[in-house]
Amino acid sequence: MFAIALKQEQYQTYILTDQEAHSRIEVVPERGGIITSWRIQGQNLLYFDAERFQNPDLSIRGGIPILFPICGNLPNDLYVHQTKQYQLKQHGFARDLPWTVTERLTEDCAGITLTLTSNDKTYSHYPFEFELQFTYQLKGNSLKILQRYINHSSVEMPFSTGLHPYFWVSDKTKLLLDLPATQYQDHLTQKTQPFKGSFDFTEPEIDLALFPLSRSSASVTNTRHNLKLTLTYSDLYSTLVFWTVQGKDYYCLEPWSAGRNALNSKENLTYLPPGETCDASVEMTVSYC
């Protein structure tokens, strides 16, 4: 049985539940449409900094933030479009703006659709008329995130998009990685090196973009908890980013459609014609070893 409930704390929160599988997610539409919690049989899968979340002036650290219309940062937070300069902060504005609930589903899954549309505030940073529709579908041990990007402008719309999930982990040395890439670029040093299948978790910070992707799925197995997390993503996504900081109980495995600075470099940037729609998806599935 699937159900959707509401609770009111600092923000209105939607609770989606698969009662048979004992799985649930919590979604906060007005704070970037973010998933703040995902639990299966009482086990929390996501890291979430609740204290930081209470301050709307701070970026969210945890859950599954939405990245649009850029992933990562731009040099000096600036990009140029048709000779005009615009400013965009790291990861764009979708993770900060309020989204609207436009549909609820309780038949074949516990689902909710959130919509974000362009407005005067977004237009000053990103001169396009757009509509984003994200549908979260919870069923069993699986969480699907279906995405629709619509260009309501009269001109071609360039963008990149991604997700920034924070997965909870208590001991990173117990992680086994199966990431379908042969190279990575270190965001800290800007050096590109061969990827040999593992990382040195004694480093103070790991911030790597992995590419090219040879298949549409990646997984991380936590051998301490005998839990395997698999990400499956559509062809829109060209890059996986792995990020973690020493002393923090999380790792991030982030599907990005394009790398940092794509609005300037144009590399792997998506160009959506006027009036057209682009669909994409990411599915996260948990299995027990």
What is the reported pLDDT for 59? 86
- Residue 135 sits in a domain whose CATH number is 2.70.98.10
Q: Is 76 helix (H, G, I), strand (E, B) or coil?
A: helix
The β-bridge partners of 278 are 149
Residue in 5, 42, 47 with CA at minimum distance from that of residue 26: 5
* CB atoms closer than 10 angstroms to residue 62: 22
Residue 57's pLDDT is 85
Q: In residues, how long is the chain?
A: 289
Number of domains in the chain: 1
Residues in contact with 168: Cβ distance below 8 Å, sequence separation at least 6, in sequence order: 44, 45, 46, 47, 249, 250
Check residue 176 and give its pLDDT: 97
> How high is the pLDDT of residue 28?
98
The boundaries of the domain holding residue 105 are 2-288
Cis bond before residue 158 (omega within 30° of 0): no
- Report yes or no on whether pTM surpasses 0.75: yes
pLDDT recorded at residue 199: 93
| pLDDT attached to residue 289 | 81
Residue 278 CB neighbour total at 10 angstroms: 19
Residues of the chain short of pLDDT 70, as ranges, are none
* DSSP 8-class letter at 54: T
Name the strand (E) or helix (H) holding 99.
none
The pLDDT of residue 56 is 85
- Euclidean distance between CA atoms 206 and 188, whole angstroms: 8
Query: Is-contact 29 114, C-beta < 8 A?
Result: yes
Residues contacting 275, CB < 8 A, separation 6+: 151, 152
Inter-residue contact 252 to 239 (CB < 8 Å): no
Q: Radius of gyration (Cα) for the chain, nearest Å? A: 18
* pLDDT tens readout for residues 127-145: 999 999 999 999 999 999 9
Q: Contact, 38 vs 15, CB < 8 A? A: no
Tally Cβ neighbours within 10 Å of residue 270.
18
Question: Residues near 143 by Cβ (< 8 Å), separated by ≥ 6?
Answer: 25, 35, 38, 136, 137, 283, 284, 285
